[in-house]
Structure 1
Amino acid sequence: MAARHRPLSERGQLDLFRALPGDFAPRDAQDLMAYPFFSLSKSHRVAPIDFVAGNVSIRVEAVPDHGMATIWDADILIWAASQIVEARDAGLRTSRLMAATPYEILKFIGRGTSLRDYQRLKAALDRLQSTTVATTIRQPAEGRRHRFSWINEWKELTDRDGRPDGIEMILPDWFYQAVLDDALVLTIDRAYFELTGGLDRWLYRLVRKHGGRQRDGWRFDFHHLHQKSGSLSPFRRFVFELRNIIRRQPLPGYTLFMEVEIGGRMLLAFAPCRKPVDGLVLSGTPNIVPSGTPVSCYREQKPGLTRDNKSENPALNLESNKDSNFEERARDVQKLIRETAEGLSATANKTANRSAWRKLGTTHEAAQEPELPLDDRSGGSR
């Protein structure tokens, strides 16, 4: 009786790729930058993400035990993409099966290397492995979906003495093929890893994806941004948080400002931070309206934020000029309008009073114009 041959596991069919040493430029996959794939909160999320726009549909699901992968967990995918691109450009063979030490991963993404950080790394790998995605992006047949997890599987390695010796992970083919396609990968600023807010991180990736180096920047409707974020926050809370980001100006290499159209529609505008942005900008209408932070690009580049010459964006970690933020400018405009209206009203009242007295004098000839309190008719020349 012929012996049965067990089929090779996925791990057995893949060559092992060991992480490269060195501190090179971080790269991100554009699909992950443009669409809502991750939770923007560190709190446990199990509510799915459902996003539909045109022929693009995305559904992200989580399991209660681990919760949905967060945008901080996605740093591991940025590390993996950076490794693959660096090896490919160096003429080395790459693979979806990757091996590295926790220290190498944690150092690259700007984390600590304590036991607690190692435990958090393992929790992030669990969330990436248990979160499932179904999407139509990059599918040859319209309407067809590709379903995958961010990590097919991962395991801890030990040496002969049973001591920890790194980790291995298998990336999904959907992600791996996107990274190998040079047109679908962008270099990001290393200062991205220093952003602490989930919305800050998401907005930087979106801005980097759509803004690039366009001199005129880009504009997004606030409602559209809310949809693209996949955030569970109500729209009003989302707008409040966006305004706070505009005030703080935390995104490396970009300036943010807000525009309001005549109909009240709010737009988030941004441009590469190369030179000062005019204080008055077009909002998509013939009228000129105040923008949020017009002079936040005047500061000199802070040393040490960008530690890699290959980074395409200067690491300008900016704060807004409080004297020029949108809300204060709006209040100034309202105050000016109010004062102008009061002045016009007072002038109109004076004109009406004078006209009334003239009519009264014509009708009643005996009527005398009343003397004003400041008139001095008791003496002096006449």
Structure 2
Amino acid sequence: MASFEHDLKQIGGALGESLQKLHENIQRTKASKADEPPAGPAPSMRPPPDGDAQPDLFVPALYDVATKDSRSIMDVAVFRLSKKEKRAGDAIRYELPDGYVEVAAGHYGMASVWDYDIILMMISHFTEAMNRHREGRGPLPGRQFRPYISEILKFCRRSDGGRQYQEVEAALDRLKTTTLKVVRTEKGRNGRTLRKATAEGLIDNYEVVSYADNGHVLSVMIHAPEWLYREITEGRNPNVLTVHPDYFLIDAGIGRFIYRLARRSAGKTRSKWSYRLLYERSGSTGTLKKFTENLRKLVTANDLPEYTLQEEPGQDGPLLVMENREVAPDGP
């Protein structure tokens, strides 16, 4: 370094003076950065939109019902986790002990974990309506769900910019053309093994009415698929779980996937999953190495609602420990 500074001094004139000042500025910048504390982990949660806590007095409070999710599909990703990859015409297959689950995408691309927010809203609406019906305070809900566009955005904790209105229709296209196929085997009455295959879209059909000149949406109608409607309306206890409101603020797809899995498997206690099995259940198109890297960022941030995340070694690779934040340190 001393030799370099000596060489600069040997250069005379304006050029030498300019180079000397440039060198001094670089050294000051390096010294300033050295004094800065190391950056903390990148947060996995986005800030809530403006007016998030303020009720909209001009629309019914549909967005105010508790968020619910279908328990039966919370331990696999029935959607893509990536914002960039559309995965049109692609499929994800999850092997089960007695069959498999296949998620197949159509022309518009595979439904994303953010598109699935609309499904969460629909599940929540039907669950609330069924609770009122069972208590004698309302009729049996039909399969049509008619939210205002502002209610969808409010429920999903998104801003109400013009582009968001357009994105809702695009999300409905992907939800309608993404098919969930379940194949299972079971013993028949005569002892022979039966194979049962069922397939439905994430939604049945939809209708969006908007002004042709500016695209402003007037109304939305979503027809719930039979599997979802049946799961909520049949039986005394719908197979659904409450989801924390801050779920919608989780920015990364992998963060949303891990939260849903924790809610399903850890509940009020804790649960352990191998990184490899999580990778297989995520439907990710990336490598296990990249998935592990992203998962470790999530563990470092450790800011998901309700659950703490921790990595521990396992016999066949690292394990993710998901624990409810209310569990005592010496709890189970």
For the criterion TM > 0.5, the same-fold answer is: yes
Tell me, yes or no, if structure 1 residue 209 matches structure 2 residue 261.
no
Partner of 2:200: 148
- Report if aligned partners of 1:158, 1:165 keep a CA contact under 8 Å in 2: yes
Which residue of 129, 149, 156 maps to 1:109?
Answer: 156
- Report if aligned partners of 1:256, 1:271 keep a CA contact under 8 Å in 2: yes
- Report if aligned partners of 1:19, 1:99 keep a CA contact under 8 Å in 2: no
* CA gap 1:276/1:242 in 2 versus in 1, 3 angstroms: farther
Tell me, yes or no, if structure 1 residue 59 matches structure 2 residue 102.
yes
Tell me, yes or no, if structure 1 residue 24 matches structure 2 residue 68.
no
State the alpha-carbon separation in 1 of the partners of residues 187 and 241 from structure 2: 23
Amino acid of the residue matched to residue 149 of structure 2?
P
Partner of 2:23: none
For structure 1, which runs of at least 5 residues remain unmatched after alignment? 1-17, 283-382
State the alpha-carbon separation in 1 of the partners of residues 70 and 326 from structure 2: 25
Alpha-carbon distance, 1:63 to partner: 2.1
Which residue of 258, 280, 299 maps to 2:311?
Answer: 258
SS in 2 for 1:41: coil
Amino acid of the residue matched to residue 266 of structure 1?
P
SS in 2 for 1:37: coil
Partner of 2:126: 84
Tell me, yes or no, if structure 1 residue 166 matches structure 2 residue 222.
no
Alpha-carbon distance, 1:73 to partner: 0.5
Residue identity over aligned pairs, in percent, reads 28
- Report if aligned partners of 1:134, 1:148 keep a CA contact under 8 Å in 2: yes
Q: C-alpha root-mean-square deviation of aligned residues, in Å?
A: 2.7
State the alpha-carbon separation in 1 of the partners of residues 325 and 286 from structure 2: 29
Amino acid of the residue matched to residue 164 of structure 2?
D
- Report if aligned partners of 1:257, 1:270 keep a CA contact under 8 Å in 2: yes
Alpha-carbon distance, 1:57 to partner: 0.9
Alpha-carbon distance, 1:169 to partner: 1.3
State the alpha-carbon separation in 2 of the partners of residues 112 and 33 from structure 1: 26
- Report if aligned partners of 2:311, 2:319 keep a CA contact under 8 Å in 1: yes
CA distances 1:260-317 after superposition (whole Å, capped 9, x unpaired): 13x4521111111126747xx99xxxxxxxxxxxxxxxxxxxxxxxxxxxxxxxxxxx
Partner of 1:100: 147
* CA gap 1:53/1:243 in 2 versus in 1, 3 angstroms: same
After superposition, where does 1:313-328 map in structure 2 within 5 Å? none
- Report if aligned partners of 1:139, 1:145 keep a CA contact under 8 Å in 2: no
Which residue of 59, 66, 81 maps to 1:40?
Answer: 81
- Report if aligned partners of 1:68, 1:127 keep a CA contact under 8 Å in 2: yes
Alpha-carbon distance, 1:133 to partner: 1.7
Tell me, yes or no, if structure 1 residue 134 matches structure 2 residue 212.
no
State the alpha-carbon separation in 2 of the partners of residues 138 and 212 from structure 1: 29
State the alpha-carbon separation in 1 of the partners of residues 81 and 187 from structure 2: 30
State the alpha-carbon separation in 2 of the partners of residues 116 and 127 from structure 1: 17
Question: Structure 2 length as normaliser, TM-score?
Answer: 0.71
After superposition, where does 1:192-271 map in structure 2 within 5 Å? 192-214=247-269, 217-261=270-314, 263=315, 265-271=317-323
SS in 1 for 2:285: coil
Question: Which structure has the bigger radius of gyration?
Answer: 1
Alpha-carbon distance, 1:53 to partner: 1.9
Partner of 1:190: 245
* CA gap 1:19/1:226 in 2 versus in 1, 3 angstroms: farther
- Report if aligned partners of 2:75, 2:264 keep a CA contact under 8 Å in 1: yes
- How many residues are matched? 257
For structure 2, which runs of at least 5 residues remain unmatched after alignment? 1-58, 189-193
CA distances 1:103-154 after superposition (whole Å, capped 9, x unpaired): 1111111112222000011110010011112113799975311111111111
Alpha-carbon distance, 1:48 to partner: 0.9
Amino acid of the residue matched to residue 127 of structure 2?
V
- Report if aligned partners of 1:36, 1:51 keep a CA contact under 8 Å in 2: no
Amino acid of the residue matched to residue 200 of structure 1?
G
Amino acid of the residue matched to residue 178 of structure 2?
T
* CA gap 1:77/1:35 in 2 versus in 1, 3 angstroms: same
* CA gap 1:166/1:125 in 2 versus in 1, 3 angstroms: same
- Report if aligned partners of 2:184, 2:195 keep a CA contact under 8 Å in 1: no
State the alpha-carbon separation in 2 of the partners of residues 21 and 109 from structure 1: 11
